[in-house]
Structure 1
């Protein structure tokens, strides 16, 4: 489902929330309707078939105080069962939100929300809805392949092949956007646990108060609003794989609790004295430099040894050489199908412009850049002008004089790119400035596929 064709209804009794969401979502979607009074939900959804409803969990009314969101969720599900509902809640109401998921909500978000997370959640739901009604390949499919033929990626594949069939704990390292979650999923899908649960937790986003209840579960009455027993993520992943993302962001207190569970291979839910045995394969990921993890003031070494039987470093896109060409073909074909466009070809300068960019956001950034290009172009040939990088992206582009890699090929490639950029693509001037002949420069352009 194309974002621009989607309609959204936002229901919240806070006018400031409605205004903020309308300003955020209006440029991205076909229609964004806001409603302050939840009593009007029935008439609203009777008049219009909304693709997504964003529903606050608490209102100032007297309907099931504390459970208003559940009440109205059930109303919506009964009247329009095909409509996806995203619940919005404060941290104090997380148990209600989880109950909402059981009642049929598609997802929930915490207040205050992050704009990027809000848009990502909506997009994921729309993609899922489309995949259920067509054969369009979903970007969020677990079967998305890891593309790459570069030497650094071949090293990753070799490790994957050796490690996946084992039960060894794995620490996946790499910058944001490199695809650490895909590596984690590939480890699970190629393991002996592939038919068991794969449970992902962004532990870096959990507050200290939520960490234990989310991971280890709790018993009814363990704390205020603990109205029923709830399994933690460890227990939910029993027999399968538990993927703890952003492990480097948890505090020392949380590290101690995690270490205890991993040593004893059992969890004790909050409010219980009974330990539950667990059998999981643990995969962790972080974008934090290993040197920082080695600082005992920030991360316990005994925990590192527990989670890091084997480490796999996912290289940044700028170090993957010709992979950018294959990735570009893959994403362009994917988005051409998604947006019902004819297949695209590349102008000679299209890939060259991509390779000049440093891609600080890595594969994720490349993906979004190419999606914009596919959406905005009117023809069937993608040209350099179809590539638009944001000011943030351009500020860290490889056209900078700073050379991040000390590899000789990388240094030479970056020097060529810098001089070509300076001379606006003039080969003769660039060759003269580099101190080589035109023929020598052409050979190097061919070598680096520039």
Structure 2
């Protein structure tokens, strides 16, 4: 709901809602593993002397997050035995994902990437699979736990927790690795998944009707399985297209291109800082710690803006800023290791990223039908990251061939389609409200 009559203070009080507060800790649990199979992992591989081209291909591990829609119907419709009955459907799937993440991170800690690069990749893939499964369950919980009016604050609280986790998994892991070892860093991150486990045990399951069991509704199991497949897999997609008609394709295109710019450049961020001449501690202090506070500021501001203005104006602001900040990285590539330039660029990049991420999550949440929450949101979030993850796999090749300046200019250019599509979506929404 858009309501510009709501005062700024009243809008900010939405962050005191208990379930909004709980989303911080679930966001932390969701965000912790991400960098550990992405930017922090690339820093480890760079530190170990792995070739840049090989590091770039590790970006494809992130495609796991982009194909979670393939198993989201199972998470959406299957109640896990034993723990599913005790904890509830959403909480039990979250817990299962968290345990898988912790096991994968602990395994990675004991592997030497120089001697066993393939084993590191397989364990990182396990972490990404368990993490994306957890994401499906958390996203469903977030949307089902509160009314639509609170989704902006839920998304901001989630992003806040997510960013804290990125700080821990980014700066924290780099500090531990710099003064200790990568083994200690990854073991510490595995232990911190306990935050998510404790949260799952404390929060309440959203009130909803549990899906019917797969078997026992018809005379034979084959019929039961066919009905379940139609209900769990086909219906969420047909519902989305029935509600939006042919314009659904425009919506899906927008979702696919919105995060192209930041995902494409993200995997090369830490190698860029290291190649420019910054130390791991400088990267941790400025790019991670300082950047965290800038990101939180952008996220908090956007949560309030969504309450007051609706989602489209913040969405447009985020799209423009994210594409523009890549140009600043291109400029910094010409300056060398200037710590002041790094602070300026990191400030702009993280404020814009906080605004864009919060607005986008709120937008996606509003697209779902609560009868198919997990599957539809998984479709959106998978599509959101798939193109960027695919292109990021070639990022190392672009850097090796043309240098960082050209790479960041390309990353800025791929953000233009999202900017052009936001007004199209806003006009369609306005027409729908008038009709």
Query: Does TM-score exceed 0.5, indicating one fold?
Result: no
Structure ranking higher on relative contact order (CA contacts 8 Å, 6+ apart): 2
Higher helix proportion, which one?
Answer: 2
Q: TM-score, normalised by structure 2?
A: 0.23
Structure that is richer in strand per residue: 1
Please report the TM-score for the alignment, with normalisation by the length of structure 1.
0.22
